[in-house]
Amino acid sequence: MSKLAIDGGTPVFAAKANVPVWPPADEKTAELLKEIYLSHAWSFYGKHEVAFNEEFAAYTGAASCAMMANGTVTLEVAMQALGIGPGDEVIVPAYTWIATGTAVVVVGATPVVVDIEPDTYCIDPVEVEKAITPKTRAIIPVHLYGSMADMDKIMEIAKKHNLYVIEDCAHAHGSEWAGKHAGTLGDVGSFSFQQSKTIASGEGGACITNDPALGEAMGRISHIGYQYGAVQGKATEPPPMGMISHNYRITEFQAAILRSQLRTLREDTEFRARNAETLRKRLNAIPGIKVQSPGRRVSLQGYYQYAMTLDTAFLKEGITREQFCAALRAEGVGCGPGGWGDLMFRQRLWSVPEELYRVVSYKTAEKIVKEQLITLSLNWLMLSEEETNKVADAFEKVMAEYGR
Ligand SMILES: Cc1ncc(COP(=O)(O)O)c(C=O)c1O
C-alpha cells in the first residue's frame, strides 16, 4: 500500500489535474460581448434574449421560455403566475438551497419541508403525500445536482390532489427523464444560470413551460407587464388588471454568453455523463461509498455536482468524513463535504421566522448532509479518461488506508 500524500507520500496527481476553469470563457464570446456593448442595445427583449428563449425552449422541448434575472425570482414568478400566495402551502425538500423556500415566503405562501430519498437525495414522494393538507397548492421538487426527483410519482400525486408542480431545475440543465428534459414534466421548470451552474452567465434564470398562457404570464410578470417581445415604451397590450409585475429582466450580455454555452450543452452533458459512469463503476465498488443515483427513469443526467455518500461506519475509528476529504485533496482531487452544509432551514442565511414555515420530516436529509455527503464540482467530470481513472485511484488509495 502506498503512503498517503497527506502523510508525505507521492500524490496520485503528481501533476495538477487538468480541471477546466468554471465558468468557461472563450475569445469568440468575448468578441460578441464587445459587439453588444458597442451596439448600445443592452436590454429589453433584445435579439439575444429572444433567441435564447427560443433556443432553450427548443432544446428542452418546452412551448416557451422566459429569461429572468436569476433562478430565485424565476420560482417567485412561477408561483405568482400560478396564483399561489397567502394562505397556500408549497411542499419543498429539506435539502436544497434556501431560495427554494424563501421564494415561497416572498409570494406570501408557506413552505412545508419534507425529507429526501436516500439514493437520489431528491424529495421523497412518500413524504410529500404525507404532508398534503387542504391548503397545499404546489410541490417544488429540486433535481439536486442533476439527479432527478421521481417525476412519475410526483405527477401522480399532483394529479390526485390537484396540485401544481414547479420543478426547481437550478442544477438540471441537460437532465432528461425518459427522454423528456427536466422542467417539462411539471407545470413550470425553473432554471438558474448563476456563475457556478452548468450553463452560466454570472447571474441569470429562466422559466420554461408547456402552457403558452402560463408562459405569457411569466414573461409579463418578469417584464413589468409588457407582452412578449415588446419594444420598450410600447406596451401595446397592457397586462390584465391585478397582474402585479416586476422588473426581473436579464441583459443581452448574459443572453449572449448563454447562447454560446447552449450550443455545446448536449455534447458537454454526454461527455460528463460518460466520465461520471466510469467513476460510478469504480467508486461504487469501494465499500462504504455510494454514488448518488440519477433517478429512476433518468435517461441522461446533466451533472452539476458529482455527489456520493461515505458511510463512516466503514472508516477506521476516529477518521471523519472531513479527514477523508482532506486526504483526497492532498492526492490532488478537489472534493469536499459538499453542498450547503446543512438543511435548507438551518443554513446560516435562512432568516425566515419559525411561524412562516412548517417542517414535516428531514431525518434522511440530515444524515446525508451532516455526516455522509461528498461532492466534486462538474469540471471534475471534464477530465480525460486516464485522469478520471486517477480520481478513482485516489479514492481507492485513501480508503485502503482509512477504511476498516
Ligand atoms: C436548488 C436551487 N434553487 C434555486 C437557486 C437559485 O438560483 P440563483 O442563485 O440563480 O438565484 C439555486 C442557486 O444555487 C439552487 O441551488
pLDDT tens digit sequence for 209-224: 999 999 999 999 999 9
Q: What pLDDT sits at residue 196? A: 96
- Our answer on whether the CB atom of 60 is closer than 6 Å to any ligand 1 atom is no
**Percentage above 70 pLDDT, the chain:** 100
Task: Write out the chain in H/E/C secondary structure.
Answer: CCCCHHHCCCCCCCCCCCCCCCCCCCHHHHHHHHHHHHHCCCECCCHHHHHHHHHHHHHHCCCEEEEECCCCHHHHHHHHHCCCCCCCEEEEECCCCCHHHHHHHHCCCEEEEECECCCCCCECHHHHHHHCCCCEEEECCECHHHCCCCHHHHHHHHHHHCCEEEEECCCCCCCEECCEECCCCCCEEEEECCCCCCCCCCCCEEEEECCHHHHHHHHHHHECCCCCCCCCCCCCCCCCCCCCCCECCCEHHHHHHHHHHHCCHHHHHHHHHHHHHHHHHHHHCCCCEEECCCCCCEEECCCCEEEEEECHHHECCCCCHHHHHHHHHHCCCCEECCCCCCCHHHCCCCCCCHHHCEECCCHHHHHHHHHHEEEEEHHHHCCCHHHHHHHHHHHHHHHHHHEC
Q: What pLDDT sits at residue 1? A: 62
- Our answer on whether the CB atom of 72 is closer than 6 Å to any ligand 1 atom is yes
Architecture field, domain 5-23+265-402:
Alpha-Beta Complex (3.90)
- Atom 10 of ligand 1, residue of closest alpha carbon: 71
Q: What pLDDT digit, counting tens, does each position of 242-289 carry?
A: 999 999 999 999 999 999 999 999 999 999 999 999 999 999 999 999
- Our answer on whether the CB atom of 205 is closer than 6 Å to any ligand 1 atom is yes
- Our answer on whether the CB atom of 122 is closer than 6 Å to any ligand 1 atom is no
pLDDT category at 368 given cuts 50, 70, 90 is very high
pLDDT category at 371 given cuts 50, 70, 90 is very high
pLDDT category at 33 given cuts 50, 70, 90 is very high
Q: What pLDDT sits at residue 236? A: 80
Ligand 1 centre distance from Cα of residue 244 (Å): 23
Q: What pLDDT digit, counting tens, does each position of 4-19 carry?
A: 999 999 999 999 999 9
Q: What pLDDT sits at residue 132? A: 98
Ligand 1, residue 197: give the atom nearest the CA: 14
Ligand 1, residue 205: give the atom nearest the CA: 10
Amino acid at 301: Q
- Atom 14 of ligand 1, residue of closest alpha carbon: 97
Nearest to 176 by CA among 256, 62, 26: 62
- Our answer on whether the CB atom of 201 is closer than 6 Å to any ligand 1 atom is no
Out of 68, 72, 169, 207, mutate this one to test ligand 1's pocket (max ligand atoms within 8 Å of CB): namely: 72
- The mean pLDDT of 36-52, rounded to a whole number, is 97
Burial class (CB in 10 A: 0-12, 13-18, 19+), 326: middle
pLDDT category at 338 given cuts 50, 70, 90 is confident
Out of 67, 92, 97, 378, mutate this one to test ligand 1's pocket (max ligand atoms within 8 Å of CB): namely: 97
- Our answer on whether the CB atom of 99 is closer than 6 Å to any ligand 1 atom is yes
> Which residue bears the cell 437532465?
175
- The mean pLDDT of 189-200, rounded to a whole number, is 98
Q: What pLDDT sits at residue 234? A: 86
In angstroms, how far is CA 200 from the centroid of its own chain?
12
Ligand 1 centre distance from Cα of residue 14 (Å): 35
Return the C-alpha cell found at 296: 429512476
Ligand 1, residue 73: give the atom nearest the CA: 11
Architecture field, domain 27-262:
3-Layer(aba) Sandwich (3.40)
* Every domain of the chain and the residues it spans: 5-23+265-402, 27-262
Q: What is the mean pLDDT of the chain?
A: 97
Ligand 1, residue 168: give the atom nearest the CA: 3
- Residues facing residue 126 across a β-bridge: none
Instruction: Please check whether residue 352 is in contact with residue 99, taking contact to mean a CB–CB distance below 8 angstroms.
Output: no
pTM (predicted TM-score): 0.98
Q: What pLDDT digit, counting tens, does each position of 136-188 carry?
A: 999 999 999 999 999 999 999 999 999 999 999 999 999 999 999 999 999 99
Q: What pLDDT sits at residue 351? A: 97
Ligand 1 centre distance from Cα of residue 70 (Å): 8
10-23: b or e for each residue (b if 16 or more CB lie within 10 Å)? ebbbeeebebeebb
pLDDT category at 339 given cuts 50, 70, 90 is confident
> Which residue bears the cell 496527481?
13
- The mean pLDDT of 309-317, rounded to a whole number, is 97
Q: What pLDDT sits at residue 175? A: 98
**Percentage above 90 pLDDT, the chain:** 97
Return the C-alpha cell found at 202: 454570472
Ligand 1, residue 75: give the atom nearest the CA: 4
